[in-house]
Each structure stands twice: as structure tokens, then as C-alpha cells.
């Protein structure tokens, strides 16, 4: 922007009591810039800012800058590619992506899919693919790229040209179930590592999860580097997200973490097409301004990429600052209308607003006005923004890229309110699209939605492959090769739990002790990532602060208050604990980054995230679902679990349902152990499954803070512990007349009930159930276990009755099955009162048994 236009723009910003004086100040400043250069000018401004921030003046800078590109023309690097070829390639990607969606919907109207989002993001992706996104190979660890989910067709379209997907595959977009019958591989709707395990790395289908996940992945790379486990220097995390997606709380919640941690390995590209699904993101305002303020306030480097190269000349000629003023008065709802309308309309309604603007448009035809590009559609401008972002140091960068939703879809879709969901185009629209992007296809090919791939020896294809070769290979690509991490024998670290000998402790205490011991194992120890969300003290883990330290990229620049204590709060650059503060969303994103390190970095890590069980599946269940999709391997520890182990805490804290939700996740194995030995066996098995056998499972283990006597665990019980339950003990004389089942904390009430029944002359057998969900998954074992017992069955848990109900189908014929649970809202009272209230105390269990045999 010319200096003069800035002057005009500022003058327009409100009453000026003494314009002559104002002009003198401005002139002085401009003379300073001209004679001493921008660095000196910035220094002087910093000095003045100190004075201006004095309370008497109380000035603070506007966080919003004019609606123009952040990278000025004169700072733009030379475009290093072949512009014409890259534009051709981008057009081909657009076509194949569009054809894929429309074909699927022509064949099966129900399949869905999106055209307009990728149409807006295609150029943003292409510049990344041609110049920035590095693949992992022997020489480079590779970048991590998070793709906007409903732009998946564009990523498939590129993989098709790259030869990684076939035409048949494209023809089976969103048909992964039926595709194999046709000899093709189906393409999942969105990035799903579970469904396309050698392709997608990061599940982003649920808005907001990609953004927060990308931050924690970037931070985890720093953690790996600082702990000297893996050098991640020089690798970046790129994330392309929607402007509507920025409304998700998850998108925003870790912005300050990213800047506090100085994550200059992180670049977000927010595709500001100004629309979301239903309509404008900020019809009455400007989303770019809002995001600029927000990100700048959060400490990010903000790069606005608003206007394409053909605007450069207009800005240069705009001596009056008319353009900047016009943008300042154009809200997004209006900007969307300009996108939807043709050149004539824009001439009349945008450039027609005043004399100065009209003059700017004078030399242009309507067609030229129509083709004026927004920044996010101009490969040169995009490259300049990415280049500046990639080189920026000390802060994460967000690029706010101005685009048009449905770009190039013409009257059929560009800028239309309904464009997000448009999946069909008539022949005329297809031909218009073909013409718009100069696609080398015939009318017939266009109207029959033929996929197009140039000949292997064409300049485009050679260029495409050469660019990817220069960047290390193709992506997205999910890898799984990683070295086995040896797991020590349980006897080496868990003897205290396996042979507890009746010692009193809680399963939480036992877990923390076990973790402390595992951390000392020379091979496994360094791979462990303990994660807490400000609850380490709650769970008695403060000793680990000193033992392994809390990770801090800044080390510890203060003397902790408790420095003399053995449990002193110790932060360190190579600290091992990730203390995420009060953010379960952050902690689970952190856990996911560690739990997928085996794949993302080829270096297996083993995270243990311990938290209040109520703030897990219920609070961040969707993030856990995404972690499951990302094929996480690690442990989630739901502590203070159940509805009655946590006396006094009441409704919001008492968890009666986490096991219900955990059971719905196919690759999650959920356990509710009662005894330290059971817990140790489960952790041992989980570690072997994940680190040695390298299976894509994660474990959810609930822990209690109730102290009671922990028995020895007989070796022969171990298999049952893993499969979901085993015969624990018989009570009373003679043949058992009733069988009692219990899990977790409530097993202790079951045992007391068995004693009460025995005192009444009723013999019973008690099964310790370690996992209702594993039993339900392996119904055969459940039936076999139950068939070995006699009499009616009575089951009790600290969870809602639906949890033990899971195995009803496997109860042997002719046996009654009564379930007791903690349905309803939690209450604040003592443990004993809570158990009586919910009817899961020993008295209630014994009564249920008597009723069952009556």
C-alpha cells in the first residue's frame, strides 16, 4: 500500500482537532522511515509506546491492521516454481475432486461429499504440496500436515495424479465397504487413519480436534527434542483449517500454549472463505479482523493473505486510499455477495461506491473484474505468505487466507449460501467449470465426469513428481514401522502389588508406585510420558515431580517455594511429566500426540494420562474417539472413579458412566480392577500388547482412592483378569447357593455381603470382574466363567446398571441375573451413605442375593 493511502486511511479514523499538527507528526515519522529505515522507526515507536502506555495516557495499540496483505509486494520472494504448470495441476486437482463427489452422488444420492470447501482451499493445498510439505524419509523426519476434513476429495485427487490411488479408487469415494468387491480400495469420507491406515495420519473430521491436536503435536515434538529422545528440529506442523472451525472452543483453547511455548514449528492456514455450512461465518463483521485480533492477542505471528497479485496494481494506483477504506466498510456478508456475483455487479456495486474506486476499475473489463483473485487463490501470494511463515522464529504463525467458497463453481455454487452441501452439477455447470479452468477435456468427458490424468511423460506429471521428490516423497502417508520397546517382567517392578499380602492401599496408590518403578527401568522408563491436568497431588503423584521432573521448555527460572522438600516442584527442560494445567482437552490432545508417536515419529512412547474419571469420556469423549481413529497406544487412568469412592464430591464429580462409553470404542480395552495385583497384570498386558506386539489398542483403567486390604493375586488368575473376570473366593459352608459378581471398589462390598450371607448360612461364590466390556466382547468366555458357578447371579458395580447389564446375554440358561448400580445423579455425602443410597453397599447386595434365592 502506498504511504499516501495509509495517511488517508488513518485520517478517516475519527475526529482530528488539529490536522496541521497531526500532519507534522506524520511527516516527521515518514521522514524518519525514509532517512533512518524501518528498524530505527520501530525502535522510536517502541520508545514512544512506553510513554503512551503510562496510565495517564493509557494508550494501547489496535490489534487490527488494514484489510491488506501482510507481506508487502516488495518483500515477496521470487516464485520458485513454474507458475503455469502449477496452475494447470491445481485445475486438474479441482476437476478430479469435483468429478469424484458428483459421480458418487449421481450413483448413490445418499453418499454426500463436498466440493465447495476444497474448491476454496485447492491453491492453499497445492502450494504446500509443491513447495513446503516435507515427507518423512531416511534423511528428514517429515512435516505433519493436518487437512481440513471436507477437503479430502482434493487430497485424493492429488494422490491419483501421483499414482498412489487408481481411477477405480476415486470411483469408490465414500464406498470403502463395497469397493473391494470391485477390486478397488474405497476412500473414506474424511481423514480416517483407522479406515485408510497407510494414508491418513490425523483424523480431523470433527471440527476443532485438528487444530488443538496440531498444537499438541508440535509441542510434543519439542518435548521429544528437549528430552533428547528424537531430534525434531527442522520439522514443521502445518494445519489447514476452516474459518468456521475457529468457532470451536477446542480450536481456540490452546492458542496461548502455542505462543508461550514459542512453537515456531507450527503454521496454521485458516481458509477464510467467509462461509461455513449454513451461511456466513461473520455476516455482519469480518472474520479476518476478529481472528487477527484474537491470534495477535494470543501471541501469534499473523500473516494476512487477502488479495491476489492483480490487486497490486490497483493498490499502487490508489492514491486516495479508497480501496482500504472500502474494505474497512465491507462486512463479510457483503463480501460473500460480491463473490457470488459477476464482474458487472462488482463494477457497479463495489467499484461503483465512489468516484475514486470507479476510476480504479476504469481500465478493466467486467471479465477482468470477475477474475480479480483473492489472496488464497494466487499461488505467488500464497507462496510468499508460506515462505514468511516458515521462516518466522519465536512464535507460531497463522495465515489468514482470503478465498471464495466454491471458487470456480460459477453460478452453480461460488459464494452461494448453499454451496457447502452442493454435490451435483448439471451439464452446463460442468462445461462452465471446464472452460473456467481450461481443462483439457472434451464436452463428453466433462459431462460424463471422466477423471483426467495427463500422460506420464507430460510436463505437468514430471513436474508434480519432481516437486514431491525434492520434498522427500509423497504425503499424506501413515507409517507404522518402529522398534519394539522391551517391557520388563512384572515381577521386577510390581511384586508389591502381585504379592500384596493383605497390605492396605488404594489402587491409585498402587498405580503411582508402579509407575514410579517403571520410570526407573532403563529401557522402558524414558519412553513413559506421565500426563496430568493439575491433579497430580490429588492422586499422590507429587513425588514424581522430583523424581522425573515436569517438562518445561524454559527450564526452571525461579526457586520453588518448597525447594527444601523431597517432593519439591521441579520443572526442567528434560522433565518427563506433562503437566497440562486445567485443560482436559489439552491433556487428551497431548496424550494422543504421545500415544501415536510410534507412527507419527517412528518412535514409540507410552503415555499414562491420569485424571478424574468423570472428566474423561464424558468431557472429552470425542477427542478420545479421534485418538482411537488415530490408532493411539497408551493408558488412560480414570481415577477417583465410580460414583461412591469419592465421598463428599457430589454430582459433577462422580462418574457412573465412563465404562459405558469406553465400551463403545472398538480399540479401547476398559478395566475396573478392584485389587492392586489385578491392576498390575492389566498394565503389564497392555504394555506388551502395545509396545511388543504393537497392536493398535489403548487401555482405560479405573482407579480408586479407597484404602483396603490387597490380597495376593494367584498366578492362575492372571488370564481371567485380562479376559474380564475370574473366580475369586468361596464363602460359607457347603455348595454355593448364589454367585456374586463385583468390580472395582464395589467388590469390597460384595465380599462383605458374602460374609454376611455366610453368617446366615448361605454359601456363595464371588467372581472378581475386571472388565464387563471385555467379557461382553468375548461372550464365550463369559458364559464359560458363569457356567462354572451355581445359583442365581447378583452383580454390583459403582457404575450405572447398564455396565453389568452388558453380559446378560451370556448368562447360562435358567439362571437369574440381578444387577445393582449407581443410576441417577451423584450426591455429596460419605462413602457409606452413598453406597447405601444407591443400593450398592454390602447390605443391599446381600439382600438382593436373598431375594434371588427366595
- Known binding residue 275? Answer is yes
Q: How far is the CB of 281 from ligand TPP (least distance, A)?
A: 6
What is the rounded end-to-end Cα distance, in angstroms, of the chain?
A: 90
Which stretch in 243-251, 308-316, 351-359, 364-372 sits in contact with ligand TPP by CB under 6 A?
Answer: 243-251
Contact flag: residue 743 with ligand TPP (CB under 6 A): no
Site map (CB under 6 A) of ligand TPP, residues 392-421, x = contact: -------------x--------------x-
Beta-bridge partner residues of 627? none
Task: Give whichever of 120 and 130 is closer to ligand TPP, judged by the CB atom.
Answer: 120
- Rg, C-alpha atoms of the chain: 31
According to CB under 6 A, which residues from 123 to 182 bind ligand TPP? 150
**Contacting residue, 242, 375, 396, 744, with ligand TPP by CB under 6 A:** 242
Site map (CB under 6 A) of ligand TPP, residues 278-297, x = contact: ---x----------------
Of 392, 391, 389, 413, the closest CA to residue 401 belongs to 389
Site map (CB under 6 A) of ligand TPP, residues 62-101, x = contact: ----------------------------------------
Reduced to 3 states, what is the DSSP secondary structure of residue 606?
A: strand
Beta-bridge partner residues of 528? 606
Task: Give whichever of 114 and 685 is closer to ligand TPP, judged by the CB atom.
Answer: 114
Task: Give whichever of 189 and 739 is closer to ligand TPP, judged by the CB atom.
Answer: 189
Which stretch in 103-111, 174-182, 241-249, 563-571 sits in contact with ligand TPP by CB under 6 A?
Answer: 241-249
Cβ atoms of residues 730 and 739 within 8 Å? no
Which stretch in 276-284, 426-434, 628-636, 820-828 sits in contact with ligand TPP by CB under 6 A?
Answer: 276-284
Contact flag: residue 120 with ligand TPP (CB under 6 A): yes
**Contacting residue, 277, 356, 431, 833, with ligand TPP by CB under 6 A:** 277
- HEC per residue, 204-262: CCCCCHHHHHHHHHHHHHHHHHHCCCCCCCCCCEEEEEECHHHHCHHHHHCHHHHHHCC
Contact flag: residue 117 with ligand TPP (CB under 6 A): yes
- Known binding residue 243? Answer is yes
**Contacting residue, 243, 312, 332, 580, with ligand TPP by CB under 6 A:** 243
Reduced to 3 states, what is the DSSP secondary structure of residue 654?
A: coil
Which stretch in 272-280, 302-310, 610-618, 819-827 sits in contact with ligand TPP by CB under 6 A?
Answer: 272-280
Task: Give whichever of 137 and 421 is closer to ligand TPP, judged by the CB atom.
Answer: 421
Using CB positions, name the residue nearest to ligand TPP. Answer: 242
Site map (CB under 6 A) of ligand TPP, residues 790-829, x = contact: ----------------------------------------
Q: How far apart are CA 156 and CA 554, in angstroms?
A: 41
Which stretch in 73-81, 237-245, 508-516, 666-674 sits in contact with ligand TPP by CB under 6 A?
Answer: 237-245
**Contacting residue, 273, 346, 641, 771, with ligand TPP by CB under 6 A:** 273
Task: Give whichever of 274 and 498 is closer to ligand TPP, judged by the CB atom.
Answer: 274
Q: How far apart are CA 235 and CA 142, in angstroms?
A: 6
Q: How far is the CB of 533 from ligand TPP (least distance, A)?
A: 22
Residues ≥6 apart with Cβ < 8 Å to 266: 214, 215, 218, 236, 237, 239, 258, 396, 397
Task: Give whichever of 13 and 664 is closer to ligand TPP, judged by the CB atom.
Answer: 664
Cis before 370 (ω within 30): no
Q: How far apart are CA 651 and CA 656, in angstroms?
A: 10
Q: How far is the CB of 207 from ligand TPP (least distance, A)?
A: 4
Contact flag: residue 214 with ligand TPP (CB under 6 A): no
Half-sphere exposure of 613 (CA within 13 A, CB side): 32
Torsion of CA 169, 173, 174, 175, to 10 degrees: -40
Q: How far is the CB of 382 from ligand TPP (least distance, A)?
A: 16
**Contacting residue, 91, 275, 576, 756, with ligand TPP by CB under 6 A:** 275
Cβ atoms of residues 837 and 829 within 8 Å? yes
**Contacting residue, 193, 244, 634, 821, with ligand TPP by CB under 6 A:** 244
203: region left, alpha or beta (phi > 0 left; psi from -120 to 50 alpha):
beta
DSSP for 42-93, written as a single string: HHHHHHHHHHHTSTTT-----S---SS-SS-GGGPPPP-S-HHHHHHHHHHH
Site map (CB under 6 A) of ligand TPP, residues 754-793, x = contact: ----------------------------------------
Q: How far is the CB of 255 from ligand TPP (least distance, A)?
A: 17
Half-sphere exposure of 674 (CA within 13 A, CB side): 31
651: region left, alpha or beta (phi > 0 left; psi from -120 to 50 alpha):
alpha
According to CB under 6 A, which residues from 438 to 457 bind ligand TPP? none
Please report the beta strands in 113-195, taking only residues with DSSP state E, as ranges in sequence order. 144-146
Q: How far apart are CA 803 and CA 820, in angstroms?
A: 10
Q: How far apart are CA 625 and CA 602, in angstroms?
A: 22
Phi, psi of 78 (to 5 degrees): -65, 135
Residues ≥6 apart with Cβ < 8 Å to 647: 829, 830, 831, 834
Residue 483, CA distances (Å) to 476, 489, 599, 698 in order: 22, 19, 11, 18
Q: How far is the CB of 64 from ligand TPP (least distance, A)?
A: 20
Q: Which three cell numbers stand for residue 823?
A: 443410576
Burial of 74 (0-12, 13-18, 19+ CB in 10 A): exposed
Contact flag: residue 245 with ligand TPP (CB under 6 A): yes
Contact flag: residue 189 with ligand TPP (CB under 6 A): no
Q: How far is the CB of 294 from ligand TPP (least distance, A)?
A: 15
Burial of 757 (0-12, 13-18, 19+ CB in 10 A): buried
Q: How far is the CB of 270 from ligand TPP (least distance, A)?
A: 9
Task: Give whichever of 255 and 803 is closer to ligand TPP, judged by the CB atom.
Answer: 255
Task: Give whichever of 245 and 765 is closer to ligand TPP, judged by the CB atom.
Answer: 245
Contact flag: residue 201 with ligand TPP (CB under 6 A): no
**Contacting residue, 185, 276, 513, 527, with ligand TPP by CB under 6 A:** 276
- Known binding residue 349? Answer is no
Q: How far is the CB of 665 from ligand TPP (least distance, A)?
A: 17
Q: Which residues form the interface with ligand TPP (CB under 6 A)?
A: 117, 120, 150, 205-208, 242-245, 271, 273, 275-277, 281, 405, 420
Q: Which residues are annotated as a binding site?
A: 243, 273, 275
Q: Which residues are annotated as a binding site for Mg(2+)?
A: 243, 273, 275
Amino acid at each position: 500500500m502506498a504511504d499516501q493511502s495509509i495517511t488517508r486511511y488513518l485520517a478517516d479514523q475519527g475526529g482530528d482537532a488539529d490536522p496541521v499538527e497531526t500532519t507534522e507528526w506524520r511527516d516527521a515519522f515518514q521522514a524518519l522511515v525514509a532517512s533512518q529505515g524501518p528498524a530505527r522507526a520501530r525502535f522510536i515507536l517502541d520508545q514512544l509506546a512506553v510513554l503512551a502506555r503510562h496510565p495517564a495516557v493509557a494508550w494501547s495499540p489496535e490489534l487490527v491492521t488494514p484489510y491488506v496483505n501482510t507481506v508487502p509486494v516488495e518483500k515477496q520472494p521470487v516464485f520458485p516454481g513454474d507458475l503455469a504448470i502449477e496452475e494447470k495441476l491445481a485445475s486438474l486437482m479441482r476437476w478430479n475432486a469435483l468429478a469424484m463427489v458428483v459421480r458418487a452422488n449421481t450413483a448413490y444420492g445418499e453418499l454426500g461429499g463436498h466440493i465447495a470447501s476444497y474448491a476454496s482451499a485447492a491453491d492453499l493445498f497445492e502450494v504446500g504440496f509443491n513447495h513446503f510439505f516435507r515427507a518423512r524419509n531416511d534423511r528428514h523426519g517429515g512435516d505433519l500436515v493436518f487437512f481440513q476434513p471436507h477437503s479430502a476429495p482434493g487430497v485424493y485427487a492429488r494422490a491419483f495424479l501421483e499414482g498412489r490411488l487408481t481411477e477405480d479408487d476415486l470411483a469408490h469415494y465414500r464406498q470403502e465397504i463395497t469397493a473391494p468387491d470391485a477390486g478397488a480400495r474405497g476412500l473414506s469420507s474424511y481423514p480416517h487413519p483407522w479406515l485408510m491406515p497407510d494414508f491418513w495420519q490425523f483424523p480431523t473430521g470433527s471440527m476443532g480436534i485438528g487444530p488443538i491436536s496440531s498444537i499438541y503435536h508440535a509441542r510434543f515434538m519439542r518435548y521429544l527434542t528437549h528430552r533428547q529422545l528424537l531430534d525434531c528440529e527442522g520439522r514443521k506442523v502445518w494445519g489447514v483449517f476452516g474459518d468456521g472451525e475457529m468457532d470451536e472452543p477446542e480450536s481456540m483453547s490452546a492458542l496461548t500454549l502455542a505462543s508461550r511455548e514459542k512453537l515456531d514449528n507450527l503454521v496454521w492456514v485458516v481458509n477464510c472463505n467467509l462461509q461455513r455450512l449454513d451461511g456466513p461465518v461473520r455476516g455482519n463483521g469480518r472474520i479476518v479482523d476478529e481472528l487477527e485480533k484474537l491470534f495477535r492477542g494470543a501471541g501469534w505471528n499473523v500473516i494476512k493473505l487477502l488479495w491476489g497479485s492483480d490487486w497490486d496494481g490497483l493498490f499502487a494506483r490508489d492514491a486516495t486510499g479508497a480501496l482500504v477504506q472500502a474494505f474497512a466498510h465491507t462486512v463479510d456478508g457483503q463480501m460473500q455477495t460480491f463473490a457470488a456475483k459477476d464482474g458487472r455487479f462488482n463494477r457497479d456495486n463495489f467499484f461503483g461506491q465512489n468516484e475514486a474506486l470507479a476510476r480504479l476499475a476504469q481500465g478493466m473489463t467486467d471479465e477482468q473484474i470477475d477474475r480479480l483473485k483473492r489472496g488464497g487463490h494466487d499461488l505467488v501470494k500464497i507462496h510468499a505468505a508460506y515462505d514468511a511463515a516458515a521462516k518466522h522464529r519465536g512464535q507460531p504463525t497463522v495465515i489468514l487466507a482470503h478465498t471464495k467458497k466454491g471458487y470456480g463453481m460459477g453460478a452453480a455454487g461460488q459464494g452461494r449460501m448453499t454451496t457447502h452441501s452442493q454435490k451435483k452439477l448439471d451439464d452446463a455447470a460442468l462445461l462452465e467449470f471446464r472452460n473456467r479452468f481450461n481443462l483439457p477435456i472434451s464436452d463428453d468427458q466433462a459431462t460424463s465426469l471422466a477423471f483426467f490424468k495427463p500422460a506420464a511423460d507430460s510436463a505437468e506429471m514430471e513436474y508434480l513428481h519432481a516437486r514431491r521428490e525434492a520434498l522427500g516423497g509423497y504425503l499424506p502417508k501413515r507409517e507404522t514401522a518402529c522398534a519394539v520397546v522391551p517391557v520388563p517382567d512384572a515381577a521386577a517392578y510390581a511384586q508389591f502389588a502381585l504379592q500384596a499380602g493383605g497390605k492396605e492401599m488404594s489402587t491409585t496408590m498402587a498405580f503411582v508406585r508402579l509407575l514410579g518403578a517403571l520410570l526407573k527401568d532403563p529401557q522402558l522408563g524414558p519412553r513413559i510420558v506421565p500426563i496430568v491436568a493439575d491433579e497430580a497431588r490429588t492422586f499422590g503423584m507429587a513425588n514424581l515431580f522430583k523424581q522425573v521432573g515436569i517438562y518445561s521448555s524454559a527450564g526452571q527460572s525461579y526457586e520453588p517455594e518448597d525447594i527444601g522438600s523431597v517432593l519439591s516442584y521441579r520443572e526442567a527442560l528434560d522433565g518427563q511429566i506433562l503437566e497440562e494445567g486445567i485443560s482436559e482437552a489439552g491433556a487428551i490432545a497431548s496424550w494422543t500426540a504421545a500415544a501415536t508417536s510410534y507412527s507419527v515419529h517412528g518412535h514409540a512412547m507410552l503415555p499414562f494420562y491420569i485424571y478424574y474419571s468423570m472428566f474423561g469420556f464424558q468431557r472429552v469423549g470425542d477427542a478420545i474417539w479421534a485418538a482411537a481413529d488415530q490408532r493411539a497406544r497408551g493408558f488412560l487412568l480414570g481415577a477417583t472413579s465410580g460414583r461412591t469412592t469419592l465421598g463428599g464430591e457430589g454430582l459433577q464429580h462422580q462418574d457412573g458412566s465412563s465404562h459405558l462409553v469406553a465400551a463403545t470404542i472398538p480399540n479401547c480395552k476398559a478395566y475396573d480392577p478392584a485389587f492392586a495385583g489385578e491392576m498390575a497384570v492389566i498394565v503389564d498386558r497392555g504394555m506388551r500388547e502395545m509396545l511388543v506386539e504393537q497392536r493398535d489398542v489403548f487401555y482405560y483403567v479405573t482407579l480408586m482412592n479407597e484404602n483396603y486390604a490387597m490380597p495376593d493375586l494367584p498366578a492362575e488368575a492372571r488370564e481371567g483378569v485380562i479376559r474380564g473376570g475370574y473366580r475369586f473366593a468361596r464363602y460359607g459352608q457347603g455348595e454355593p447357593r448364589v454367585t456374586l459378581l463385583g468390580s472395582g471398589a464395589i467388590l469390597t462390598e460384595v465380599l462383605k455381603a458374602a460374609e454376611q450371607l455366610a453368617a446366615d448360612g448361605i454359601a456363595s461364590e464371588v467372581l472378581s470382574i475386571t472388565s464387563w466390556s471385555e467379557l461382553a466382547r468375548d461372550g464365550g468366555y463369559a458364559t464359560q466363567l458363569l457356567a462354572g458357578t451355581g445359583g442365581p447371579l447378583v452383580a454390583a458395580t459403582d457404575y450405572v446398571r447398564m455396565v453389568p447389564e452388558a453380559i446378560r446375554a451370556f448368562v447360562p440358561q435358567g439362571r437369574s441375573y440381578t444387577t445393582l448400580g449407581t443410576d441417577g445423579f451423584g450426591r455429596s455425602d460419605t462413602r457409606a451413605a452413598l453406597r447405601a443410597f444407591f443400593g450398592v453397599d454390602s447390605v443391599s447386595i446381600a439382600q438382593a442375593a436373598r431375594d434371588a434365592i427366595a
